[in-house]
Amino acid sequence: MKCMSSESTLLRCFINLPYAFIGPVNFSGTIGGGAEFTLACDYRLFSSDSSTRIGFIHKRMGVVPAWDGASKLVQIVGKCKALDLLLTGKLLSYEEAREIGLVDDLVDDLPGAEAWLLEKVKHDASVVRAAKAIIVNAASRCPEIRNNDEQRIFASLWNAPANRLALESKIKHLK
């Protein structure tokens, strides 16, 4: 049995990047295809501008998401909420989007977004890339392939420089 990913080639390019990246939701809003694109991002950060909104207004144009946005939306917010968002075309405020897990945080500006992300990825780059690969694989592959990939990625880090450095520092796991 061969498992296939359902994600489109365009979104797959962004999702498979070996780095964590942010989808900004800013200014007058991120709607339609722009909102759909943010779903391929690892994190979605809302601008502190009070007029900012995010929404899937495809129905207003007589269409539905075409870049696997509906599948990603279901993964992020669940089936019922995703259906509601697609059927209503509602534009969500930061508070509404945060409540359902659609956005991760609120920032004032681009330097604020950069600082937010740098706090997440301040570890050895090989560990960040491996964590990203495991998450991408977990969300997109069948169990047999996913488990093999996770073991392969783990093995590539075992006794690598970041692992040796952590062990040499006598890291405490329960701080």
Q: How far apart are CA 125 and CA 131, in angstroms?
A: 10
Q: Which of 125, 117, 127 is nearest to 153 (CA)?
A: 127
Query: Which residue has tokens 């890291």?
Result: 171
Query: Which residue has tokens 């996770």?
Result: 150
- Are the C-beta atoms of residues 56 and 23 closer than 8 Å to each other? no
Q: What is the pTM of this model?
A: 0.72
Q: How far apart are CA 62 and CA 95, in angstroms?
A: 28
pLDDT tens, 33-72?
888 888 888 888 888 877 788 999 888 888 888 777 888 8
Q: How far apart are CA 78 and CA 70, in angstroms?
A: 10
Residue 137 amino acid letter: N
pLDDT tens, 80-97?
999 999 999 999 999 999
